[in-house]
Amino acid sequence: MAAPIIAPAGAFPYTMTVRALAGPKSFTAPTIEELVDAFERWRDETGYGASDIGGRFPVTREGAKVGEVSYNGRWWPEAAP
């Protein structure tokens, strides 16, 4: 198991919204790892495939994009400027 991805102090929450067939589904968590875990549980429970919800989902922290999560649960951090 990969080491947990911990957010810096004061950097909560992380938010991600997925556009699903039944309407948007939002996820909020204190760490990227927990956000990804919640998404993967929901994805597996609903049975949605990538063609149903898309392939990559922006993750924000305090309104600023910090990266994306892909359909398979991989975290893609934003490149540093």
Beta bridge partners of residue 44, listed in sequence order: none
Q: Choose among 70, 67, 68, 69: nearest CA to 80.
A: 67
pTM of the model: 0.80
pLDDT along the chain (81 residues), means of 10: 52 84 89 95 93 92 93 90 58
- Reading the block at residue 36, the tokens are 């990804």
Cα angle 71, 76, 16; round to 5: 60
Contact predicate 31/37, CB 8 Å: no
Predicted local distance difference test score (pLDDT) of residue 54: 87
- Reading the block at residue 30, the tokens are 């204190």
